[in-house]
């Protein structure tokens, strides 16, 4: 089950590795970026589903990639990103 979301979350963490503050501006940026420029072959809906699955998992989200932010902090941030993506529906852009 982990493998279904792990690669995508690692890609998101890579995008965030130099983000100092996981504030509302970062939430808005990431949500828009994921919808407008999906990672790899993912569609926005697949990205949303992968984030939701990761957040439901008890596995560490940051275990595979060194991060300046801890797992708890990253989990809270990604929950906010998922809520922001949901609020932005209906999505437009590539793959939406």
The reported pLDDT for the residue numbered 3 is 64
Mean pLDDT of all residues in 29-44: 93
* pTM: predicted TM-score of the whole model, two decimal places: 0.90
**C-alpha closest to that of 79 among 62, 54, 59:** 54
Query: Residue 63 — very low, low, confident or very high, per pLDDT cuts 50/70/90?
Result: confident
Choose among 90, 87, 96, 58: nearest CA to 75: 58
Place of tokens 């994921």: 34
- The residue with tokens 């596995």 is 59
Half-sphere exposure of 77 (CA within 13 A, CB side): 25
Residue 48 has pLDDT above 90, yes or no: yes
The string over 3-16, giving b where at least 16 C-beta atoms fall within 10 Å of a residue's C-beta and e elsewhere, is: eebbebbebbbeeb
Domain positions in the chain: 3-87
Residue 23: pLDDT band (50, 70, 90) is: very high
């Amino acid at each position: 089950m982990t493998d279904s979301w792990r690669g995508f979350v690692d890609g998101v963490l890579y995008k965030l590795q130099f983000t100092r503050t996981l504030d509302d501006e970062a939430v808005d940026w990431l949500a828009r970026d994921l919808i407008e420029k999906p990672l790899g072959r993912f569609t926005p809906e697949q990205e949303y589903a992968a984030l939701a699955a990761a957040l439901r998992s008890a596995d560490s989200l940051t275990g595979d990639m060194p991060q300046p932010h801890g797992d708890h902090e990253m989990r809270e941030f990604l929950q906010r990103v998922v809520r922001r993506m949901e609020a932005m529906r209906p999505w437009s852009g590539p793959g939406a």
